[in-house]
Structure 1
């Protein structure tokens, strides 16, 4: 029986693709025993239990960077104190990881990146256990960059040549895994309505949602006169969104549906939308690609390594998305951009076709095959 240790989590962006990979591993090798190492957040535990995945919790810490420049961050005492504390948690996570590896005896390890993967990867390297890492963004994160030096394979979401700062012959362009329901029976082209108002989904994201929410609220009546809007405002913004709806004129209320967060209903929300306004997290971009959705992307300003802008910019150069910078979110600019795109059905069709080219439906299977092949090779060497 092959044993596979998996590490990831901390955010939904780090755990959702891993669940897709685990599902593919189970299809390819029904006997595989899988153990998930996570940070122990409630949403992680719920997802793992719902998917019948055994897990272990380790202490983790992250290195905080806010895109303000090295000097500004160096003199930020509060941030540096937190970084020192989290360094201690990472050391603790490394020690826990060594114990888990010693007890579980995995044949191979899969690391999704981020602060949960780092201590597990360092322990794996020290204990000579082969591991595969996956990088979602076009800029490799610090944890993955460090772990890539001794990785047996590196799966990436963008074509290998897009990673200008990494030169590693073990890189494989697998794409970013999404759940099958995002692409099975999906419509590949938008269907503009002639009699009804176009449907706009505004997905503000869990981070940095406030700036998008504020612009929407400031222009809410103007946008609802022309569009039906499904608004995912984030848990911190949903109460205000509901209050805004309560104060709308009666004839506009039916055109606005605010939510804090969607999970199982997310596929239906995407399919309902003619145009999606979203951040540039890799999961969101991959889901848009799977469902061929014309989109206006607003990268999160100050994201680590400016990765959201670089993700979006790569796709924009392929003609796959429209990009609107957060600094440009003033006045009626967002409303004007949505109106401009909604009135140009040829542009919508082009965006739809272009972004779908970026989608790799067999991504989770490709990564699962990499993991299983390494496990088999190790077993053969030890036999």
Structure 2
């Protein structure tokens, strides 16, 4: 079987595609998987590092790029379709998969009109701009949240978001003092979360609950945050610009403070962790808030909107959670119920089914 996967931009689009590709190859070593992306995205590092071949086409976004950006994106579209058509004629895939990013648009649309079976993957409660517009053209949609089903009708199937197997293997912890607190805002950090935590430190010390803190700050805020912990008498906190082994830190955490990107939500669910999420307000279509709300609806997440985030609100919400270990445990159980260890396998089943159809 030959599978073409269009994925680009962020790790949240690329890693699920990688997980599905690995599942397909594990089932049949003769399976050929080819990724297609653009020259600007993280796919240029992640895909080759994962052992898969990547080809590049020209493509540009049309959403949240301003007037000039839209004009540029529209001007690139004809070239995108021509290059996608050339690639499809040359590779002749059995199935074409769109894992996310604006590169998916021209590739899946061209594949549809050339008669190739198509599947789109979407990991957000509100499907992305490109995927919403592809909904009428694709054959199947592999979704993470039930909330996304109405956008795809009978084509949509909730498969879960494929994440690394290691997160599912994180053992269940019984929350107890000193409570493990893991703070991160993505690989670049999150300044709003960093600043709120700096303000919250003296307030948290007043509560008397002993904490074991690991804080990923991002490079830009590292020195400022590290000094703030020292000045607050929390020299024992593990403050780093970047955490390379996130699974190990999940294992030690009782509570996670984070953004609400699709990959973070999936990893929190897979590991079965209680979390306090601060959705990124500038995320396209406010999709992070919708992700967090979908998890909060099931009792897995507590939400603080960034407009309400400061040291006092963060300290108060965190203190309430830490004062109730039973609630922390229940949130972790609720999170794990949302996880789908078989997400990559179910998505691979859909791909194989499209080939046979």
TM bin (shorter chain): over 0.9
Of 126, 132, 139, which residue of structure 1 is paired with 2:113? 126
Question: Is the contact made by 1:206 and 1:235 (CA closer than 8 Å) also made in structure 2?
Answer: no
1:157: which partner in 2? 144
Question: Is the contact made by 1:221 and 1:248 (CA closer than 8 Å) also made in structure 2?
Answer: no
State the shift of 1:158 in Å. 1.4
Q: For the residues of structure 2 that align with 1:292 and 1:6, how far apart are their CA atoms?
A: 29
Of 163, 166, 177, which residue of structure 2 is paired with 1:181? 166
| 1:367 lines up with 2:347 in the alignment | yes
Q: Cα gap change, 1:91/1:206 in structure 2, threshold over 3 Å: closer, same or farther?
A: farther
Question: Is the contact made by 1:39 and 1:58 (CA closer than 8 Å) also made in structure 2?
Answer: yes
| 1:234 lines up with 2:218 in the alignment | yes
| 1:99 lines up with 2:86 in the alignment | yes
Q: For the residues of structure 1 that align with 2:42 and 2:133, how far apart are their CA atoms?
A: 27
Q: TM-score, normalised by structure 2?
A: 0.93
Gaps of 5+ in 1: 66-77, 378-383
1:81: which partner in 2? 68
Q: For the residues of structure 1 that align with 2:58 and 2:249, how far apart are their CA atoms?
A: 36
Aligned residues: 354
Q: TM-score, normalised by structure 1?
A: 0.87
1:136-195 CA distance string (max 9 Å, x none): 111122211121212111111012xx23752521111101111111112x223x32334x
Q: Cα gap change, 1:128/1:207 in structure 2, threshold over 3 Å: closer, same or farther?
A: farther
2:324: which partner in 1? 344
Q: Cα gap change, 1:128/1:279 in structure 2, threshold over 3 Å: closer, same or farther?
A: same
1:260-281 CA distance string (max 9 Å, x none): 3334x01001111110011111
Of 210, 218, 230, which residue of structure 1 is paired with 2:191? 210
State the shift of 1:349 in Å. 1.2
State the shift of 1:7 in Å. 0.6
State the shift of 1:308 in Å. 1.1
Q: For the residues of structure 2 that align with 1:116 and 1:236, how far apart are their CA atoms?
A: 30
Aligned residue for 2:135, secondary structure, equals helix
2:241: which partner in 1? 260
**Residue pairs, 1:1-383, within 5 angstroms:** 2-41=1-40, 43-65=42-64, 79-159=66-146, 162-163=147-148, 165-184=150-169, 186-188=170-172, 190-194=173-177, 197-206=178-187, 209-223=190-204, 226-245=210-229, 247-248=230-231, 252-254=234-236, 256-263=237-244, 265-377=245-357
Gaps of 5+ in 2: none
Q: For the residues of structure 1 that align with 2:73 and 2:174, how far apart are their CA atoms?
A: 49
Q: For the residues of structure 1 that align with 2:63 and 2:187, how far apart are their CA atoms?
A: 18
Q: For the residues of structure 2 that align with 1:219 and 1:167, how far apart are their CA atoms?
A: 43
